[in-house]
Structure 1
Amino acid sequence: MDKILFLGTAGGRASTFRLLRRSGGFLLNLSGRWIHVDPGPGAFVYLHQMDFDPRDLDLVVLSHVHLDHSADVNSILESATDGGKRYHTALLAPRSVFEGEDRILLPYLRKRLAYEAFFEEGKIIKYMDVKVKAVMKHRHHNAETYALLFNDRILYVTCALFEERMLEVYPKNVDIMIINTTLYSKRTYIEHLCVDDAIKLINGLKPKRAVLTHFGYEFLKHYDPQEVAKQVSIITQVETIAAFDGMEVYLH
């Protein structure tokens, strides 16, 4: 059965680097393939603590280059390829991950990839039994950032400034919408989503279920994400849950 495993649920610099919660992104198991999305700080260690062998990874996906989403990508790829002995793992990411002055992928690891592809808005990429669509390019602090749709079932709304265009471009009625809800309330000049933004997205797109994650420092300091998710469920009439470290969600 397809599922999501949240390695960590911290979002933004403060909660990530103060280790209020784990980071490390999340794992997807889709059509029997393992995908690691946004392997931030600690991802390599957390995989092993959960008895997951990185050599089982078929695909690594980065939504953007920010450190809380990408810090462990080189360690993950090195271990997934078993130091170059295995040749089956692909990397899908913005071009800025691979090239340019802000690139983060070590050049020698690029040679060990079985496949690579760059995201562009609207582009669909297929690898093995997995289909990933870069649904929309986000505005997010000058980083090339994309919302991603996996196998037409899971919509990952990564870090972004809310735009009404999201309600037009994003698919409706997906099985699960994962929303990086870093802020509780909107803050000027910070290009992250807040709870009100999540409510707008859920109300407008009506996924079957929604998951809030990637919580920032102020959010975790002053609010209980579980209680917030309950309120969002009441307002939207869509089952909404707050992710916690190690949480598993199965797709029906």
Structure 2
Amino acid sequence: MDKVLERGEGFLKFLGTAGARFVMIRQLRSSAGLWLRYKSTNIIIDPGPGSLVRCNSSRPKLDLSSLDAIILTHKHLDHSGDVNVMIEAISEGGFRKRGKLVAPQDALDEKEGVVFSYTKKFLEEIIVMEEGKEYRIADVRFITPLKNIHSVDTYGVKFLFPQTTVSLVSDTKYFPRLVDIYKDSTVLILNVVFYQKRSEYEHLSLEEALELVKKIKPELAVFTHFGMSMLRAKPHLLEEKIRKELKLNIKFAYDGFTLEIPYRKDKRG
């Protein structure tokens, strides 16, 4: 990661690449989310179970007290399990009111939300996600361009850097508007839970993810958030096969995979 920082202005580190309940429960892959650093700004995205431990055990260590914000794309536990301890970390145990939380309204609700009432008081600001809304956290500008089709309120996030647009689509059923909304992506990050299409679930399959990549044509696509069927299919072998046969620049992320920002096309993911 230090070498990545030497080359670029920032990075996106995949602390965990687990998707779906059983991979998360068994921790076959970590469910710790993503850490974004750009210039002097640090944001953790979707801190699921194990995020606190993964940050502290990262090499080099990720300083939780340096966090500026938390982003939740939605409230499912594999994306939000450690959100309250992250708020504790940002606010130094609640002794220092600081940090921002960006999340859908249903993640914040008193009855069925995932953020405790007492930890909300530790934050400097809570920002509710809305479709089409733009945000700025210090050096980082981003938008939530589209509400996904998922069982709870879920939004994709498009990070707008000067030379790179990184789109984190999050959990969703396939639908045509995804192509139009994310067609300007330099890097397209897709949560690919299923190896084969499962129309009864609101998650992407490998086939659907590949269709999106072919239509959107990003410089790099990153697949993550793998369910059991994807792990059984061996992501590293799928990556090799797809790169060779389909000539697509796709990276199947692993725990600890780090993407340089700005993304440079001449460097393979």
TM-score by length of 1: 0.94
Distance 1:208 1:114 in 2: 36
Report Cα offsets for 1:151-208 as digits up to 9, x if no partner: 2521001111000111122242x23111111111111311110111111111111111
Paired position in structure 2 for 1:163 = 175
Distance 1:11 1:66 in 2: 11
Paired position in structure 1 for 2:187 = 176
Report Cα offsets for 1:211-252 as digits up to 9, x if no partner: 1100001221x2111222233334654311111111112123
AA matched with 2:171: C
Paired position in structure 1 for 2:52 = 44
AA matched with 1:104: V
Paired position in structure 1 for 2:144 = 134
Paired position in structure 1 for 2:5 = none
Distance 2:160 2:100 in 1: 16
Paired position in structure 1 for 2:29 = 21
AA matched with 2:252: A
Paired position in structure 2 for 1:79 = 89
Paired position in structure 2 for 1:197 = 208
Equivalent residues of 2:183, 2:217 under 8 A apart: no
Distance 1:135 1:163 in 2: 14
Distance 2:12 2:178 in 1: 23
**Superposed displacement of residue 132, structure 1:** 2.0
Question: When the two structures are aligned, how many residues end up with a matched partner?
Answer: 249
| 3-state secondary structure, aligned to 2:150 | coil
Equivalent residues of 1:136, 1:170 under 8 A apart: no
Considering only aligned residues, what root-mean-square deviation do their CA atoms show, in Å? 1.5
Distance 2:98 2:159 in 1: 19
Report Cα offsets for 1:16-56 as digits up to 9, x if no partner: 10111111111111232111000000001111111222111
- Greater mean deviation of Cα atoms: 99-108 or 75-84: 99-108
**Among candidates 212, 220, 238, match of residue 223 of structure 2:** 212
Equivalent residues of 1:210, 1:241 under 8 A apart: yes
Equivalent residues of 1:179, 1:212 under 8 A apart: yes
Paired position in structure 1 for 2:253 = 243
Distance 2:244 2:101 in 1: 38
- Greater mean deviation of Cα atoms: 159-168 or 127-136: 127-136
TM-score by length of 2: 0.88
| 3-state secondary structure, aligned to 1:82 | coil
- Greater mean deviation of Cα atoms: 121-130 or 233-242: 233-242
**Superposed displacement of residue 87, structure 1:** 3.3
Distance 2:73 2:158 in 1: 11
| 3-state secondary structure, aligned to 1:9 | coil
Unaligned runs of 5+ in 1: none
**Among candidates 157, 168, 190, match of residue 148 of structure 1:** 157
Report Cα offsets for 1:67-101 as digits up to 9, x if no partner: 00000000111012101233331110101111252
Percent identity over the alignment? 32
| 3-state secondary structure, aligned to 2:147 | strand
Paired position in structure 2 for 1:61 = 71
Equivalent residues of 2:220, 2:249 under 8 A apart: yes
Distance 2:241 2:111 in 1: 43
Equivalent residues of 1:230, 1:241 under 8 A apart: no
- Residue 167 and residue 65 in structure 1: after superposition, are their counterparts in 2 closer, same or farther (change >3 A)? same
- Residue 61 and residue 235 in structure 1: after superposition, are their counterparts in 2 closer, same or farther (change >3 A)? farther
AA matched with 2:204: L
Distance 1:26 1:12 in 2: 16
| 3-state secondary structure, aligned to 1:241 | strand
